[in-house]
């Protein structure tokens, strides 16, 4: 193997068709090598595809970064036991993590890459039914996907005996109805089964007992849209981008106080400093104050972290997470306690209610933060919040509760003084009994 | 579980077990056991709310967090011990040894309490509240929460008998999980989301489940309370006594809580062999009959045509004189009903033989047949949980067929076991009946449809043809459960016996009433002496004569009359007196005929708790004690003896066995049944013999064919409806299923009936009107509940029952002919 | 440093839940579905059910269908779903009350959703929402969350809501009208948008299909598009969407070249003994 050369700063793979005329149509897609990977895949044994994706090192793009090929290999196969049950592929297109806006443009601009990925993946895991669970508010994506599915059926890429291979697959594009928690894979499965989107106990894991208690792979849009390119490019090509443990290209979504917000597809491991340079720097030159590497559930970074490599390992080593590479950038005009309050209101609104720490903890935290931001904080509040977060983190049923604590604990870590200043600016209210009177009087 | 004091290397881990360490103690636990259970068995109580051993794990409340180490590596987060199963080499630290677990538990408790109203002083649950108790053991002494609590209007009635207080609720979902998993009645659900999440019902449908009361009992806070009990008493004022349900033949264990001489509430007892921890709502809520206005407390004697209170001495003398005179004339018949304990039934059986010199005794105060008696004598009497079908056998069975029995309506605990088996291991349930009742749906049962009266023929045909049912019942452990309604169809008991022989399935007899099985064992039937001995068997008679100290040949040697024959003989004056205990003539196959007989008979002695149709006609009325005021036992359908003690002071009230004993003394014979214990001892000394004889082989009757404007009537009782033990329970009655006439769409059209509109069922005797509901009945069949609330029963109103022809007319279509 | 504009709602002390649940025990047997759920709707419900391996999966789309009929999820709608899927009305209610897109009260012709999550709020979303509340309110009272200006269902009526992150953060602040995107909004542009809607106009979204109304869109969410090929067109690529791709082109950057032919797939893993 030759010494790898460093790829270009931007590596459009998933985004390479987005500028084309009617990029979403099957004509455009086929003209640009679309559905050729499918032919290659259908000529192979399913297990070869699983090995290929394992070899490529593709990791889930929904936030957790679980190795995709390994996830597929957990699906029991064979004529007995769980292997004998029908298998399902479910695409998590419930994009809703604050700051995250990569899957919706993908589905709008290039739905066929996802559809082709779904067909290859279903073939690999031997699924004959695939559901794409799209956030209900992403209406136009739903249209695009349904149209793409219709086109794919018309061309024989879906249905029975796909391209003469004997393989059959149906895809349903399913609209959600407004619940962030459905981005959690087991909550998504319950929701897809027509229930409240509340997370399930694990084990059993979806790989053995997922949709309809059958073996199920749940993958993110960007993950599966990457599959056709891995088949056509090969694992070495895929690994020529990114890092050893976080290979491949990744769509970084820059938003907020930057000159040119937007979608930037770069090899994993790019830094914010590099991204900001590409995006024309901070808006109006106002300095950076804080940012999220991958959505609001990933602990905040500050200007100290401009050179943290934004891959799974780099973000984690610096005390945060890669998440969904939703890079929200806030300048010095933004109050940290206010931003944290807004995010906490979000988590409170989206907490499913199943477990105590998340349901009650977010309810309490919002009240403290709102009080604080509206001039009624107490000096005890900061420590109380940290302790509540400690009682939520790792104690709640699923990761939503953990995510809810991220903005608070990281904000206090880096901006404790701002919270204290906010309290100090206020009329001296230190004792809970006084405070209770005040809140009562103001209600 | 075994504690292992010695080093683990010295002792192998038992097969199917794993070895782990909890709080420094090494313990072996069966594979798959939940950590919280292993802790319990070690005496370590991890606080919890959502966990319940009979419900699927939820992991929702997060109160039971413990620290876990696997393979020497601590898990990064504390784990919910209610969802994690044991594993080999696991090291577990609970709140007792782990500061992390302790803080996690305190943290969750604080969060649970931020929205709790802390109204323990006025809460029904106060003093027996898991939240209160665990807040003490695992909570902070103060709360840091100074902000605004969520408030809700309260209480919210979610049915006529269950009230919801959402502020107290900790959203553990025990109630919703019970309703969905155990009862199969998902009428109570989580609504809303996040902090607004709450328990609730649909706007158009209350929590109408026959098992709803269990949710009140398993609620770990005071969020669900009972309309009947709310604000009535405090747990520490109550005296609790274990009891046995008198409402059906399951023999469910209950707990009866009384305060200063009044029963305040009843709860499910915990008996894994019988009812686990569940009871139906009738068993839980129907006990006000104890204090109803109709209770008779003083003996009465009819003087110049009018019943007047009398002393016990006078009443007993009057009864004895009347009976002695009658014995000398046509003779005495003895009729008993379903409420009797085995001790009482034995006293009646012995009274009949020893004092009345007759075998004219029958407990079957309902439709019955000679075929049934033969079936019981040859296959049921004398079986015990060791030899016959049990709840455990029902649960383990690969397949169960129910005949003449809709378990949800007539034997709720049997229904719960069937449902459990269906959900846990895919048991196949078949129900021979007329329509897919709610119970059929909830047990995923296959309905074997039959025109009423034609059930035996259907079963015989299936047995001959083979197929799915026969295959399923041929599997090892398969069970047939047959209800006493089988007596309404000639040949049905015979068909059941034949099918059992053909397939090898075991047969369990599940009568509806609590006392029936005990009465059978006690010999309160015309053909059997106590212990299953045949009247016609000279050796058996001799055995009993000897045990009872009677002269040889003293016992009458021919089987007596059954209940219908006794009534007919009484009506005709062939019998001169009747002794009647616990019989409702409206339950008989011919209520009008029964009432006629009771009024015609020369002398009538009634032993009763309440004023009834029988006491109204009696010459002497002798009051007897309800279960709450006496000890005794039932024999449940499994043949399991279910003993209970007195709950309330029993001075001044006497059980039937004592009254009969004294009455017998007045007639100059000794029964030795002065107390239930004495009666039980006397019966036990006799012992029982194996069932004898061969199963009946009565040919299957053909169902009748309806003519123009006619249908064949199907009918049976619903759990909640009219009944002498359900009086004064408005909250319970509010959850009764609506009384409707069920019919299939084609028949409705033929008869001119419209869904939702009243229709009238008529016979020469009378008419019943009810709204029409469509269901999957066979063509030409209509169904009515036998015991609608606040109305005459079907048999009383129509003089017709299951399998009889009736005329049916829709509203505005009155020309349909009556039979 | 100043706090961003806008007045985040003190939403902690709400009294929640219905005051009283009223039920009609006599009405629990037999079909009562509202006449609004006609044969066409029944057929559509059956079509939805047929899409899935198990019928209950149809519940979410069916609730969208119900909203397309009555512009909210009514009790009759809950009953309709319960009958079609043979589950209890409590089970349907549990689901209908979990998801924010199912509305409890009849909505306006249009649903205007203003993202007030942190990033949009900081970029002006809170100010936009506050302005629209005032603008659409009446008698000095700002319009509340999920309240409607105008008679629900009539032309020009608008239901306003503040929404969580609408996944268009690079285009912040964003508004959706009937779930079509109006990107890069300002207080002024949002006012103009709402004015136009009140006048009965249908401004074209920045990304999405030509504006219709909420009921039509709910029918689409249920899976019934008036003309799928047509509505799937429309603008969808904002400059921000292709920022990286355009920049790469400008600078001549590309992903590493792929092999000319699809490379051979790895061999089958050896079978486990």
* C159 and C226 share one domain: yes
Beta strand C175-177 with C180-182 is antiparallel
A94-107, pLDDT tens digit by residue?
999 999 999 999 99
The pLDDT of residue A443: 31
Residues of A with CB under 8 A from a CB of B: 179, 196, 201, 348-357, 359-364, 367-368, 371, 380, 384, 387-388, 390-391, 394-397, 432, 435-436, 439, 443
* pLDDT averaged over every residue in chain B: 95
Using the predicted structure, report yes or no on whether residue C21 has a pLDDT greater than 80.
no
- C239 part of a folded domain: no
Give A-chain residues touching C228 at CB under 8 angstroms.
Answer: 143, 146-147, 150
Provide the domain count of chain C: 2
The pLDDT of residue B690: 83
The pLDDT of residue C9: 37
Give A-chain residues touching C253 at CB under 8 angstroms.
Answer: 8-12
B435-446, pLDDT tens digit by residue?
999 999 999 999
Q: Is residue C1 a contact partner of residue A335, using CB atoms and an 8 Å limit? A: yes
- C237 part of a folded domain: no
Using the predicted structure, report yes or no on whether residue B125 has a pLDDT greater than 80.
yes
Give A-chain residues touching C98 at CB under 8 angstroms.
Answer: 179, 196-197, 352
- C273 part of a folded domain: no
A69-86, pLDDT tens digit by residue?
999 999 999 999 999 999
Across the interface, whether the CB atoms of A350 and B194 are under 8 A apart is answered yes
| Inter-chain contacts counted by CB atoms under 8 A, chains B and C | 102
State how far residue C161 is from chain B, nearest Cα, in angstroms: 17
* C124 and C90 share one domain: no
* C20 and C59 share one domain: yes
CA distance C217 to C107: 13
Give A-chain residues touching B58 at CB under 8 angstroms.
Answer: 201
Give B-chain residues touching C94 at CB under 8 angstroms.
Answer: 189-191
Using the predicted structure, report yes or no on whether residue C16 has a pLDDT greater than 90.
no
The pLDDT of residue C270: 72
B718-737, pLDDT tens digit by residue?
999 988 788 889 999 999 99
Q: Is A196 on the interface with C (CB under 8 A)?
A: yes
Using the predicted structure, report yes or no on whether residue A176 has a pLDDT greater than 70.
yes
Using the predicted structure, report yes or no on whether residue C135 has a pLDDT greater than 70.
yes
B535-582, pLDDT tens digit by residue?
999 999 999 999 999 999 999 999 999 999 999 999 999 999 999 999
Q: Point out the least confidently predicted range of A218-222, B516-520, B651-655.
A: B651-655
* C41 and C74 share one domain: yes
Q: How confident is the model at residue A430 (pLDDT cuts 50, 70, 90)?
A: very low
State how far residue C68 is from chain B, nearest Cα, in angstroms: 21
* C84 and C182 share one domain: no
State how far residue A387 is from chain B, nearest Cα, in angstroms: 9
Across the interface, whether the CB atoms of B202 and C16 are under 8 A apart is answered no
Asked which of C195, C210, C231 is the last residue of a domain, the reply is C231
Across the interface, whether the CB atoms of C268 and A19 are under 8 A apart is answered no
The pLDDT of residue B477: 98
Q: Which residue of A36, A172, A241 is in closest CB contact with C256?
A: A241
Across the interface, whether the CB atoms of A99 and C4 are under 8 A apart is answered no
Give B-chain residues touching A397 at CB under 8 angstroms.
Answer: 59-60, 62
For an interface test with A, the pick among C55, C256, C269, C272 (most A C-beta atoms closer than 10 Å) comes out as C256
Across the interface, whether the CB atoms of A262 and C119 are under 8 A apart is answered no
* C162 and C224 share one domain: yes
Using the predicted structure, report yes or no on whether residue A431 has a pLDDT greater than 70.
no
- C89 part of a folded domain: yes
Q: How confident is the model at residue B815 (pLDDT cuts 50, 70, 90)?
A: very low
Using the predicted structure, report yes or no on whether residue C30 has a pLDDT greater than 60.
no
* C92 and C142 share one domain: no
Using the predicted structure, report yes or no on whether residue B225 has a pLDDT greater than 60.
yes
CA distance B403 to B489: 11
The pLDDT of residue C2: 40
- Region B580-592: mean pLDDT is 95
Percent of chain B with pLDDT over 70: 98
Give B-chain residues touching A201 at CB under 8 angstroms.
Answer: 57-59, 83
Q: Is C9 on the interface with B (CB under 8 A)?
A: no
| Cα torsion B443, B444, B445, B447: sign | positive
Asked which of C30, C64, C96 is the last residue of a domain, the reply is C96
State how far residue A346 is from chain B, nearest Cα, in angstroms: 11
State how far residue B807 is from chain C, nearest Cα, in angstroms: 24
Q: How far is CA B291 from CA B679, B728, C15, C259, in A?
A: 27, 9, 42, 91
Q: How confident is the model at residue B816 (pLDDT cuts 50, 70, 90)?
A: very low
B257-299, pLDDT tens digit by residue?
999 999 999 999 999 999 999 999 999 999 999 999 999 999 9
| Inter-chain contacts counted by CB atoms under 8 A, chains A and C | 321
Where residue C68 sits, what CATH number does that domain have?
Answer: 1.10.10
Across the interface, whether the CB atoms of C97 and B193 are under 8 A apart is answered yes
Q: How confident is the model at residue B589 (pLDDT cuts 50, 70, 90)?
A: very high
Give C-chain residues touching A180 at CB under 8 angstroms.
Answer: 164
A114-153, pLDDT tens digit by residue?
999 999 999 999 999 999 999 999 999 999 999 999 999 9
Give B-chain residues touching C27 at CB under 8 angstroms.
Answer: 204
Q: What's the token pair of residue A334?
A: 């933004």
Using the predicted structure, report yes or no on whether residue C33 has a pLDDT greater than 90.
no
Q: What's the token pair of residue B107?
A: 């943290």
Q: How confident is the model at residue A3 (pLDDT cuts 50, 70, 90)?
A: low
pTM: 0.94
Across the interface, whether the CB atoms of C244 and A144 are under 8 A apart is answered no
Q: How confident is the model at residue A438 (pLDDT cuts 50, 70, 90)?
A: very low
* C90 and C178 share one domain: no
- C184 part of a folded domain: yes
C242-260, pLDDT tens digit by residue?
999 999 999 999 999 999 9
Farthest CA pair distance, chain C: 79
Q: Is B665 helix (H, G, I), strand (E, B) or coil?
A: helix
Residue of chain C nearest B158, judged by CA positions = C21
Using the predicted structure, report yes or no on whether residue B340 has a pLDDT greater than 70.
yes
Using the predicted structure, report yes or no on whether residue A441 has a pLDDT greater than 70.
no
Using the predicted structure, report yes or no on whether residue C22 has a pLDDT greater than 50.
no
- C244 part of a folded domain: no
The pLDDT of residue B70: 94
- C61 part of a folded domain: yes
A435 against C55, higher pLDDT: C55
- C105 part of a folded domain: no
ipTM for the whole complex: 0.94
- Region B104-133: mean pLDDT is 95
Across the interface, whether the CB atoms of A142 and C100 are under 8 A apart is answered no
CA distance B187 to B164: 14
Q: Is B685 helix (H, G, I), strand (E, B) or coil?
A: helix
E strand spans, B422-514: 428-433, 446-449, 479-483, 506-510
* C28 and C85 share one domain: yes
For an interface test with C, the pick among B161, B205, B774 (most C C-beta atoms closer than 10 Å) comes out as B205
A314-339, pLDDT tens digit by residue?
999 999 999 999 999 999 999 999 99
Across the interface, whether the CB atoms of C90 and B738 are under 8 A apart is answered no
| Inter-chain contacts counted by CB atoms under 8 A, chains A and B | 104
Residue of chain B nearest C87, judged by CA positions = B186
Across the interface, whether the CB atoms of C253 and A338 are under 8 A apart is answered no
Using the predicted structure, report yes or no on whether residue C125 has a pLDDT greater than 60.
yes
CA distance A153 to B705: 56
| Cα torsion C123, C125, C126, C132: sign | positive
Q: Which residue of A348, A350, A355 is in closest CB contact with B60?
A: A355
The rounded radius of gyration (Å) of the Cα atoms in chain A is 23
A243 forms beta bridges with: none
Q: Is C267 left (phi over 0), alpha (psi -120 to 50) or beta?
A: beta
Q: How confident is the model at residue B338 (pLDDT cuts 50, 70, 90)?
A: confident
The pLDDT of residue B817: 37
Across the interface, whether the CB atoms of B60 and A363 are under 8 A apart is answered no
The pLDDT of residue C18: 39
Q: How confident is the model at residue B651 (pLDDT cuts 50, 70, 90)?
A: confident
Q: Which residue of C19, C88, C94 is in closest CB contact with B205?
A: C88
The pLDDT of residue B252: 98
State how far residue C57 is from chain A, nearest Cα, in angstroms: 4
Where residue C127 sits, what CATH number does that domain have?
Answer: 3.40.30.10
The pLDDT of residue B8: 52
- Region B647-656: mean pLDDT is 93
Percent of chain A with pLDDT over 90: 93
* C220 and C124 share one domain: yes
Q: How confident is the model at residue B142 (pLDDT cuts 50, 70, 90)?
A: confident
The pLDDT of residue B368: 97
Write out the residue range of the structural domain in which residue C220 sits: 110-231
* C139 and C215 share one domain: yes
Beta strand B300-303 with B620-623 is antiparallel
B778-802, pLDDT tens digit by residue?
999 999 999 998 888 999 999 999 9
Cα A251-A257-A258 angle, rounded to 5 deg: 55
Give A-chain residues touching B111 at CB under 8 angstroms.
Answer: 356-357, 360-361, 364, 388, 391
The pLDDT of residue A124: 98
- Region A144-163: mean pLDDT is 98
Give C-chain residues touching B150 at CB under 8 angstroms.
Answer: 14-16
The pLDDT of residue C268: 87
3-state secondary structure chain A: CCCCCCCCCCCCCCCCCCCCCCCCCHHHHHHCCCCHHHHHHHCCCHHHHHHHHHHHCCECCCCCCCEHHHHHHCCCCCCCHHHHCCEEEEEEECCCCCCCCCHHHHHHHCHHHHHHHHHHHHHHHCEEEEEEEECCCCHHHHHHHHHHHHHHHHCCCCECCHHHCCCCEEEEEEECCCCHHHHCHHHHHHHHCCCCCCCCCCCCCHHHHCHHHCCEEEEEHHHHHCHHHHHHHCHHHHHCCECCCCECEEEEEEEECECCCEEEEEECCCCHHHHHHHCCCEHHHCCEEEEECCCCCCCCEEHHHCCCCCCHHHHHHCCCCCCCCEEEEEECCCCHHHHHHHHHHHHHHHCCCCCHHHHHHHHHHHHHHHHHHCCCCCHHHHHHHHHHHHHHCCCCCCHHHHHHHHHHHHHHHHHHHHHHHHHHCCCCCCCHHHHHHHHHHHC
Give C-chain residues touching B785 at CB under 8 angstroms.
Answer: none
Residue of chain B nearest A197, judged by CA positions = B193
Using the predicted structure, report yes or no on whether residue B769 has a pLDDT greater than 50.
yes
Using the predicted structure, report yes or no on whether residue C19 has a pLDDT greater than 80.
no
CA distance B508 to B479: 7
Give C-chain residues touching B756 at CB under 8 angstroms.
Answer: 29-30
* C120 and C219 share one domain: yes
């Amino acid at each position: 193997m030759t010494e790898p050369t460093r790829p270009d700063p931007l590596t459009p793979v998933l985004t390479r068709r987005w500028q084309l005329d009617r990029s979403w149509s099957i004509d455009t897609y086929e003209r640009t090598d679309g559905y050729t990977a499918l032919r290659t895949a259908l000529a192979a044994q399913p297990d070869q595809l699983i090995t290929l994706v394992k070899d490529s090192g593709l990791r889930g793009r929904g936030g957790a970064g679980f190795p995709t090929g390994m996830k597929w290999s957990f699906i029991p196969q064979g004529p007995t036991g769980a292997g004998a049950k029908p298998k399902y592929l479910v695409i998590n297109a419930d994009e809703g993590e604050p700051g995250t806006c990569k899957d919706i443009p993908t589905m709008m601009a290039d739905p066929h890459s996802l559809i082709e990925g779904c067909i290859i993946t279903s073939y690999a895991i031997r699924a004959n039914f695939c559901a794409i669970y799209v956030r209900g508010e992403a209406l136009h994506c739903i249209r695009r996907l349904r149209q793409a599915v219709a086109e794919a059926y018309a061309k024989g890429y879906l249905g029975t005996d796909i391209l003469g291979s004997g393989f059959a697959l149906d895809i349903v594009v399913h609209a959600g109805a407004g619940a962030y928690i459905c981005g959690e894979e087991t909550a998504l499965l319950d929701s897809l089964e027509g229930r409240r989107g509340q997370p399930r106990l694990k084990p059993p894991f979806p790989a053995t007992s997922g949709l309809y208690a059958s073996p199920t792979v749940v993958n993110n849009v960007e993950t599966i849209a990457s599959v056709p390119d891995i088949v056509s490019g090969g694992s070495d090509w895929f690994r020529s981008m990114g890092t050893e443990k976080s290979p491949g290209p990744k769509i970084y979504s820059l938003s907020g106080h930057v000159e040119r917000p937007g979608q930037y597809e770069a090899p994993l491991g790019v830094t914010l400093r590099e991204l900001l340079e590409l995006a024309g720097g901070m808006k109006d030159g106002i300095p950076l104050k804080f940012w999220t590497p991958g959505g609001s559930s990933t602990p905040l970074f500050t200007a100290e972290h401009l050179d943290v490599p934004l891959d799974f390992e780099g973000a984690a080593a610096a005390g945060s997470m890669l998440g969904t590479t939703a890079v929200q950038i806030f300048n010095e005009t933004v109050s940290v306690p206010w931003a944290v309050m807004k995010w906490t209101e979000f988590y409170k609104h989206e907490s499913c209610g199943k477990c105590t720490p998340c349901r009650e903890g977010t309810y309490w935290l919002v009240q403290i933060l709102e009080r604080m931001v509206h001039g009624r904080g107490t000096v005890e509040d900061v420590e109380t919040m940290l302790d509540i977060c400690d009682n939520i983190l790792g104690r709640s049923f699923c990761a939503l509760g953990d995510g809810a604590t991220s903005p608070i604990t990281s904000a206090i870590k880096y901006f404790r003084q701002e919270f204290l200043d906010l309290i100090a600016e206020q009329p001296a209210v230190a004792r809970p009994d006084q405070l209770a009177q005040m809140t009562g009087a103001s209600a | 579980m075994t504690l292992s004091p010695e080093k683990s290397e010295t002792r192998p881990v038992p097969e199917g077990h794993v070895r782990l360490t909890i709080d420094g103690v090494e313990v072996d636990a069966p594979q798959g056991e939940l950590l919280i259970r292993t802790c319990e068995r070690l005496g370590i109580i991890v606080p919890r709310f959502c966990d319940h051993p009979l419900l699927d794990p939820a992991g929702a409340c997060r109160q039971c967090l413990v620290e876990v180490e696997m393979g020497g590596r601590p898990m990064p987060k504390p784990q919910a011990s209610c969802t994690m199963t044991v594993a080999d080499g696991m090291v577990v630290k609970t709140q007792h040894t782990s500061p992390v677990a302790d803080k996690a538990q305190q943290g969750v408790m604080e969060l649970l309490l931020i929205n709790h109203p802390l109204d323990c002083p006025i809460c029904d649950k106060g003093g027996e509240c898991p939240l209160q108790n665990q807040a003490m053991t695992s909570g902070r002494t103060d709360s840091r929460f100074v902000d605004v609590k969520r408030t809700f209007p309260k209480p919210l009635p979610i049915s006529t008998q269950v009230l919801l207080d959402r502020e107290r609720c900790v959203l553990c979902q025990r109630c919703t999980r019970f309703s969905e998993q155990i009862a199969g009645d998902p009428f109570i659900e989580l609504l809303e989301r996040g902090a607004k999440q709450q328990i609730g019902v649909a706007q158009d449908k209350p929590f109408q489940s026959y098992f709803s009361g269990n949710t009140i009992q398993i609620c770990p806070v005071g969020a669900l309370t009972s309309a009947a009990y709310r604000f009535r008493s405090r747990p520490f004022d109550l005296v609790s006594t274990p009891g046995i349900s008198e409402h059906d033949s399951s023999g469910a264990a209950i707990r009866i809580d009384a305060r200063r001489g009044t029963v305040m509430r009843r709860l499910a007892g915990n008996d894994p062999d019988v009812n686990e921890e569940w009871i139906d709502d009738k068993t839980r809520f129907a006990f006000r009959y104890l204090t109803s206005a109709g209770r008779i407390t003083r003996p009465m004697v009819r003087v110049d045509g009018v019943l007047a209170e009398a002393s016990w001495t006078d009443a007993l003398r009057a009864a004895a004189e009347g009976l002695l005179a009658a014995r000398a004339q046509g003779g005495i018949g003895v009729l008993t009903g379903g409420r009797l304990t085995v001790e009482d039934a034995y006293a009646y059986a012995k009274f009949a033989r020893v004092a009345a010199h007759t075998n004219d005794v029958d407990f079957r105060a309902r439709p019955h047949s000679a075929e049934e008696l033969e079936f019981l004598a040859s296959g049921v009497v004398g079986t015990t949980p060791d030899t016959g079908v049990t709840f455990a056998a029902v649960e383990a069975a690969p397949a169960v067929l129910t005949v003449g029995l809709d378990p949800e309506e007539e034997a709720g605990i049997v229904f719960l076991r069937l449902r459990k088996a269906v959900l846990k291991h895919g048991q196949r349930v078949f129900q021979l009946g007329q329509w897919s009742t709610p119970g059929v749906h909830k047990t995923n049962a296959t309905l074997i449809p039959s025109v009423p009266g034609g059930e035996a023929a259907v079963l015989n045909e299936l047995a001959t043809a083979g197929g799915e049912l026969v295959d399923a019942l041929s599997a090892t452990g398969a069970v047939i459960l047959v209800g006493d309604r089988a007596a309404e169809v000639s040949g049905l008991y015979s068909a059941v016996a034949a099918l059992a022989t053909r397939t090898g399935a075991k047969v369990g007899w599940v009568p509806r009433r609590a006392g029936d099985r005990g009465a059978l064992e006690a010999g309160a039937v015309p053909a059997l002496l106590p212990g299953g001995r045949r009247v016609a068997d000279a050796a058996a008679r001799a055995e009993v004569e000897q045990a009872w100290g009677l002269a040889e040949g003293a016992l009458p040697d021919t089987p007596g009359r059954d209940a219908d024959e006794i009534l007919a003989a009484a009506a005709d004056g062939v019998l001169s007196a009747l002794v009647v205990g616990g019989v409702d003539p409206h339950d008989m196959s011919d209520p009008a005929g029964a009432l006629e007989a009771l009024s015609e008979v020369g002398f009538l002695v009634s032993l009763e708790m309440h004023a009834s149709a029988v006491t109204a006609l009696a010459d002497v009325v002798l009051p007897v004690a309800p279960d709450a005021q006496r000890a005794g036992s039932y024999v449940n359908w499994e043949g399991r003896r279910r003993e209970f003690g007195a709950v309330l002071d029993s001075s001044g009230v006497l059980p039937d066995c004592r009254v009969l004993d004294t009455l017998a003394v007045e007639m100059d014979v000794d029964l030795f049944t002065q107390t239930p214990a004495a009666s039980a001892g006397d019966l036990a000394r006799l012992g029982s013999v194996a069932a004898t004889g061969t199963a009946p082989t009565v040919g299957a009757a053909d169902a009748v064919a309806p003519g123009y404007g006619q249908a064949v009537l199907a009918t049976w009782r619903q759990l909640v409806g009219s009944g002498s033990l359900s009086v004064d329970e408005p909250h319970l009655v509010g959850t009764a299923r609506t009384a409707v006439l069920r019919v299939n769409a084609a028949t409705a059209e033929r008869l001119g009936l419209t869904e939702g509109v009243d229709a009238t069922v008529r016979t020469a005797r009378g008419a019943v009107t009810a709204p029409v509901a469509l269901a999957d009945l066979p063509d030409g069949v209509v169904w009515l509940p036998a015991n609608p609330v606040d109305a005459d029963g079907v048999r009383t109103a129509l003089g017709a029952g299951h399998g009889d022809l009736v005329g049916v007319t829709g509203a505005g279509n009155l020309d349909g002919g009556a039979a | 440093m100043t706090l961003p504009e806008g007045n985040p709602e003190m939403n902690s002390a709400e009294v929640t839940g219905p005051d009283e649940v009223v039920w009609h025990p006599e009405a629990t047997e037999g079909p009562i579905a509202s006449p609004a759920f006609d044969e066409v709707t029944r057929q559509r419900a059956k079509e939805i059910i047929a899409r899935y391996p198990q019928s209950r999966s149809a519940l979410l789309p069916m609730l969208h269908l119900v909203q397309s009929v009555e512009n909210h999820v009514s009790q009759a709608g809950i009953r309709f779903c319960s009958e079609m899927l043979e589950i209890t009305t409590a089970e349907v209610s549990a689901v209908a009350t979990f998801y924010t897109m199912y509305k409890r009260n009849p909505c306006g012709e249009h649903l205007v959703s203003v993202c007030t999550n942190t990033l949009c709020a900081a970029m002006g979303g809170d100010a936009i929402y506050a302005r629209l509340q005032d603008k659409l309110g009446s008698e000095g009272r700002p319009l509340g969350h999920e309240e409607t200006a105008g008679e629900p269902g009539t032309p020009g009526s608008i239901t306003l809501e503040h929404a969580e992150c609408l996944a268009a953060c690079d285009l912040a602040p964003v508004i959706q009208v009937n779930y079509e995107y109006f990107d890069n909004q300002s207080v002024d542009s949002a006012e103009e948008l709402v004015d136009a809607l009140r006048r009965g106009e249908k401004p074209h979204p920045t990304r999405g299909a030509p504006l219709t109304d909420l009921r039509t869109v709910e029918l689409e969410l249920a899976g019934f598009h008036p003309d799928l090929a047509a509505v799937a067109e429309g603008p969808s690529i904002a400059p921000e969407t292709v920022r990286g791709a355009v920049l790469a082109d400008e600078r001549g950057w590309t992903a590493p070249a792929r092999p000319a032919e699809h490379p051979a797939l790895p061999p089958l893993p050896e079978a486990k003994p």
